[in-house]
A and B are shown apart, each in its own frame.
Chain A
Amino acid sequence: MAEQEKIKSEVPLLIPRSCESTLTNMTGSWRFLMPRYEEKTAPCSTACPAGEDIGRIEMLTTQGLFKEAWETILRENPFPAVCGRVCYHPCENRCNRGEFDDAIAIHSIERFLADAASRNEFKPSIEKLPSKKQKIAVVGAGPSGLAAAYFLTLLGYICDVFEAMPEAGGVLRWGIPLYRLPISVLRNEIAHIESVGVRIHTGKCISKSFLDEAHNQYSAVFMGCGHSRTRGLNIPGENMDGLEDGIAFLGKVRQGETPSFDGSVAVIGGGNTAVDVARSVLRLGGKSILVYRRRRQDMPAFDQEIHMALEEGVEIRELLAPVKVEKNGREYTLTVQPMRVAGTDTDGRAAIEPDNEMTQEIIVQRIFKAIGEEAAEDWYNPPGEKEKSLTLKNSVLIPRSQGAVLVIGGDLTNQTKSVVHAVASGKEAAIALDILFQEGSEAVESRLKDYVVGNGPSLSMEVYMAGPRSEREKHIVEYDEINTDYFELAPRVTQPRLLIEERRKTFEEIDLKISANVAIREAERCFNCGLCNQCDNCYLFCPDLSIQKDDSSQGRHINYDYCKGCGICVVECPRNAMVLEEEGT
């Protein structure tokens, strides 16, 4: 030891030792490209007529934040439990994951969240603006009317909803069969709408004179009376006893009647009503034959509904146009003209013409007409040229100088007659009215454009109310912009369903529940296109340690003192929530 000490004192340690960090080198000055966090728009959310923030809903579901995920739906749509069941989910057709393996089962997750909220009795906390002085009347408590009232209430207006039937819900209550939408589910959602402050008056049928007197009490009237009268076939024999309206039949069944059927039943039409009637008849013991004048692929009914109808045993006879109906004792003879495809119609469906002179006869026990519905009263419809009006995407706004402002929406104006389009209509009407009251009717059209999701036409109430979503770029993320190296192939959840044998016998709901685990796993498949889900790739791969965590909502920021602008963070962001720009732009 002594010797070591001696060496130490005699031989000085002449090694240069660094004692500073490199933090004095501001390497940010090298940068000519600048990365930046920038959230963008997911394609699903633009495809959703209600503009739901789907990418975020799935992200919150992944994190187990079911209440927050459910509230995120409620900001854009008061009917998650209904739409999770009956919506034809156009969102899933635009899902980028579809190009990778299979689209996310967005509707299954939506339904799961709504069911979880109901099971856990969540009370939503949704932003509501301070009260405003205007009162608004809503005619019809169907999906469009209730949506309009809900969104107007969130915007601070007082809303009275008038409904002719003894219970609210419109087509959801009196049209859509129970096997697609159980009654408790609907009642639960209507209760939520009432809990934000919407006042629903049932059993109040509104007459035309109401419109003229409304301005005494109301600043605006929203007409969402829907289409409830079956259109005529214009063929001999159609008005004879025993030929029933499809929509009226569905209403009776929903009122609790259970007529029984025996033998063949013809349902004329190709829309959702026709399919619902055919499937209901089947459940009541009949054999359903759907008679449609175009081809199966031209049917306006939603694909999935047609598919399930076929599974259950509904027979579809396509390219047959009804010519006349005759009664033979207890049976009916439906004479049909075979048709053939002759080019394409303006709406993309097949144009048809008679195939030959020969007609066919279909002998059945009962016949239902379901070729589409129209407004029950002519004055429900938009006035056309008669009055100055603004035709919006899903509603018509009539800023009358005398009397209350009139908005017509829902099925009365919508091109696509679906529940989610009705919600879109209610939302559009609510935002349009708010703009009209504050800035006048001239501002409506141009200002509405500011609140579209992506390139529209879906509108976002969260964006309108200047929530965090309003900071997102409108750019719609494409599949090529996703870094798929961070995703693994995973099968889409298969929706558990009642067995076909059971489905034929009962009006029990067909689609069964999925568990929380399954819902989370499905939500994890979501790319969350354009949204930061805090994956930390940017932070991890930064060679310059210039991404620093903080308490902001982003959770991190880029320290431009040191960022050399290499751009790795942007390329390694799996979901395109960053952007690389030239310095100084």
Chain B
Amino acid sequence: MSRRDMVAGATAAAALTTLPSGARAGSAAADKPVMAKVGLTVNGQRRELELDIRTSLLDAAREHLHLTGSKKGCDHGQCGACTMIVDGRRINACLTLAVMHQGSEITTIEGLGQPDNLHPMQAAFIKHDGYQCGYCTPGQICSGVAVLAEIKAGIPSHVTADLNAPTEVSEAEIRERMSGNICRCGAYSNIVEAMTEVAGRQA
């Protein structure tokens, strides 16, 4: 996201909070939602939406585009189930408004692969049983794909010992970087194996 987008988004949010609210909530109740047009490229397809500006990127996908692969586990950026890859970086889609993403390139789990055309990470999750109930799984997989790209790009993490040496894929790096994606079923051990295998194949 560019700095200008950030300012535009912040302005929209500020405008929302300064809408006249009247002496009591009575007049606020009569206010119509503020709508805005936003154009996104989702899984390679250009999508034009007109949205209530309070709509999160996650709800834009789930409720408006009916792309329900990205999950809502907390709506607070605490669980990672909503992880999408936006302009090459993974983000919690519940913590960002859709209108802040004019022109963004967005990849959701549906864009990585389909049941008969699996992405290597999806196939590795199946092979290593890196999921159980399946609810955190799309977020884990999107995060997993992005994490390997981050390591490849030399972006360090908290456990990276030497900032001057090339970052290597290790179990410690995977565990650290994946820790924003909670799996309550407890498939972590298997997810690390799946990611390690994909990383090995990529190298």
Physical interaction between A and B:
no
The chain A residues found within 8 Å of chain B, CB to CB, are none
